Amino acid sequence: MIGRLPIAKMFAATVVLTALISVVMLQISWDGQQASTAAPKVDTLLDVMIVLSSFVFALVMVMLFYALWKFKAKPGDESDGEPIHGNTRLEVAWTLIPTVIVLFGAGYSWSVLNDIEEPAKNPITVDVFSQQYAWSFGYPGKDNAYSQGELHVPLDRQVHFKMHALDVIHSFWVPEWRIKKDNVPGITTTAIVTPDKPGTYQLICTELCGFGHAAMRAKVVVEPPAEFRKWIAGLKETVPDPYLETIRQDTETDPIPLGAGGA
Ligand SMILES: [Cu+2]
């Protein structure tokens, strides 16, 4: 017989260890500066997940080290271990606890995603074209004004990015916005962002797309609407015809809900 486990003490040790790990892990600014309305919500979600993961890690460690200490064979003990046929209470607990944690994480993530993708009034639409190894941008609401390697967006206005890959899969990532979305050949994917801090950022390709992947970046400028309009007015080119053709041929995925409009 292994006797009764000191459940209360083990639980207390788990709570203390969870707190210690969480305090250390939450000190770190994992994603850096926040520059979109989604960023604080995504960061809070991450913090909650860090605490939950710390709890799971602490629980496993406490049980592991308790077992190592308590059930260690005495020197000279060559006997077989006890035949054990399972423990219903333990099995129910280790099924139920992870299920609750995973369901909570799924529900919370869902609600955050729903929240940050909520269409706002009067968004602006930007076409994003990705190809080995460059980014370019079209503004369908501004007579298809076209910019290569530099993306400008107005401050505090929701942007609907329509992603188009011209060769292989790329992925759109501006770390300060916390938004990441794959660009897939043949389909249009959408990312919704409301930048809320003016400044210059970097758009990074975050899908290994070939030899020049590491250098596949673009400058991102978030600026007040008046400066944005001035920049748009200064663009000389329009989106090349083959690119427009790509847009027409793409199949749309996760389209913006009806009534959300576009600019
Ligand atoms: Cu890439």
Q: What is the pLDDT of residue 256?
A: 55
The gap between the terminal CA atoms of the chain, to the nearest Å, is 72
What number is the average pLDDT over the span 223-236? 95
Residue 188 tokens read as 């249009």
Residues ≥6 apart with Cβ < 8 Å to 197:
33, 34, 35, 36, 155, 176, 222
| DSSP assignment string, 164-214 | EESSS-EEEEEGGGTEEEEE-BTEEEEEEE-B-S-EEEEEEE-S--STTGG
Looking at the chain, the whole-number percentage of residues with pLDDT higher than 90 is 73
Nearest-angstrom CA–CA distance, 126 and 262: 9
Report whether 138 contacts 126 (CB < 8 A). yes
Cβ(151)–Cβ(172) below 8 Å: no
Distance 193 CA to ligand 1 centre (A): 21
pLDDT band at 262 (very low <50, low <70, confident <90, very high): very low
pLDDT per residue as tens digits for the range 159-194: 999 999 999 999 999 999 999 999 999 999 999 999
* pLDDT given for residue 48 in this prediction: 95
pLDDT at 246: 84
pTM of the entire predicted model: 0.83
Which pLDDT value is given to residue 263?
Answer: 43
Give the whole-angstrom CA distance, residue 202 versus residue 151: 9
pLDDT per residue as tens digits for the range 68-104: 998 888 888 888 888 888 889 889 988 999 999 999 9
- Token pair belonging to 116: 């940050």
Distance 149 CA to ligand 1 centre (A): 14
* 232 Cα: distance to centroid of ligand 1 (angstroms): 27
Say how far apart CA 39 and CA 45 lie, in whole Å.
10
pLDDT of residue 208: 95
The separation between CA 232 and the C-alpha centre of its own chain, rounded to angstroms, equals 30
Question: What is the CA(56)–ligand 1 centre distance, in A?
Answer: 34
Amino acid at 257: P
Q: What is the mean pLDDT of residues 2-26?
A: 89
How far is the centre of ligand 1, averaged over its atoms, from the C-alpha of 216 (Å)?
6
